[in-house]
Amino acid sequence: MAYMVGRPRHLIFTALFIAAGFLVQACANTSSYVEQGRTLGSLGQWDKSVEVLQKAQEKDPSDPEIKLMLARAKSNASMEHMAKGETFLQKGSFGEAAHEFRLSTEFNPGNVRAEVLLRRAKSLQESEALLEQGEKLLREKEYAKARRAFQKAVKLNPENRKAQKALAAYRKEMERPPRFRLKPKNTAPVSLRFKKTPITNVFEVLSRLSGINFIFDKDIKETKVTLFMTDVPIVRFLEVLLRTNNLAGKLVNDKTMIVYPSTHCQREAERAGDQGTEGTHTGSFKTHRGKEGTHTGSFKTHRGKRSPAGRGPFEC
């Protein structure tokens, strides 16, 4: 009976001994983490110091010294990332700056300056992205969308000079007097979208909207047009349509235009020379309704001063 009673006591002592061993080991591990954290902090490696001290806190959540050391390490890590972010910001590396400011706020959510700088870096980064988007839209002939992208870029960053310049150029183009002295029946801005549309169909739509009769040179090829423009005068749309499809135009009167390949201008200029000598433009044509005819007009090259037959300028 005495043997049976003594055995549990023996086991209890064994368990207490093992527990004490674990406790000593845990204390040793905690002390090791604390020392590592202190060393890393003295070397200025605050991110790693935070990582190690967090492990120490997991081992001993109630230790006030560990809490204090961890708070200090987080504060220093936050300041370090904020300083890096400001350096990137000055260099114009807005994406990298935003990343550093984000880390700074994660280490110290109470860092108000880092939060303000993070918002600014994001705005500058988005402004640059909108500038690139606007330039891409210009190449794709999405003029209205490009304008809106430039406007947003300038709003986000009034110091974005490239966006300012692009927007100013767009406005200057829109304010420039039209090249063609046409008198369309509809002077209100229009929004037109054509995607892979036969070019003769595009002119047919313009004719219906404007009341202008378009006469096509026989050498015009049936190409496909992709062009989107929003809130622009119809004459301005016509200018862009001609320019982006290597076409030129000559006014017969304020309601009629002859449309022909711009290469005709080059051939006539070469034929006439570059000294202001006179030349002619002769070509068979079809109207947008399919009627055939011919047209002949005189002109002078770029250094001359005369227009074809006094009926309006050659627009090459």
Span between the terminal Cα atoms of the chain, in Å: 120
Statement: the pTM of the whole predicted model exceeds 0.75: no
Residue of 69 and 14 predicted with greater confidence: 69
| pLDDT at site 178 | 67
Per-residue pLDDT at 268: 53
Instruction: Reduce the secondary structure of the chain to three states and give it as a string.
Output: CHHHHHHHHHHHHHHHHHHHHHHHHHHHHHHHHHHHHHHHHHCCCHHHHHHHHHHHHHHCCCCHHHHHHHHHHHHHHHHHHHHHHHHHHHHCCHHHHHHHHHHHHHHCCCCHHHHHHHHHHHHHHHHHHHHHHHHHHHHCCEHHHHHHHHHHHHHHCCCCHHHHHHHHHHHHHHHCCCCCCCCCCCCCCEEEEEEEEEHHHHHHHHHHHHCCEEEEECCCCCCEEEEEEEEECHHHHHHHHHHHCCEEEEEEECCEEEEEECHHHHHHHHHHCCCCCEEEEEEEEEECCCCEEEEEEEEECCCCCCCHHHCCCEEC
* Tokens matching residue 86: 């400001």
pLDDT of residue 176: 64
221-259 tens-digit pLDDT? 888 988 888 777 888 888 888 988 889 888 888 889 889
At 138-186, the pLDDT tens digits run 787 677 788 889 999 999 999 999 999 988 887 776 666 667 788 888 7
> Would you list the domain boundaries of the chain?
16-176, 190-315
Instruction: Give dist(CA 241, CA 227) in Å, integer.
Output: 8
User: For residue 200, which of 292, 288, 263 has the smallest C-alpha distance?
Assistant: 288
* Cα atoms in the Cβ-side hemisphere of radius 13 Å centred on 168: 6
pLDDT single digits (tens) 83-140: 999 999 999 999 999 999 999 999 999 999 999 999 999 999 999 999 999 999 878 7
Q: Give the span between the Cα atoms of 134 and 128, in whole angstroms.
A: 10
pLDDT in tens, 1-50: 444 444 555 555 454 444 444 444 445 467 888 889 889 888 989 999 99
The 10s digit of each residue's pLDDT in 270-315 is: 454 444 444 444 444 444 444 444 444 433 333 333 334 333 333 4
Q: Averaged over 48-57, what is the pLDDT?
A: 91
| Domain 190-315 annotated CATH 3.55.50.30 | yes
| Contact call for residues 162 and 191 (beta carbons, < 8 A) | no
Rg over alpha carbons for the chain, rounded to the nearest Å, is 38
- Looking at the DSSP bridge assignments, the partners of residue 192 are 229
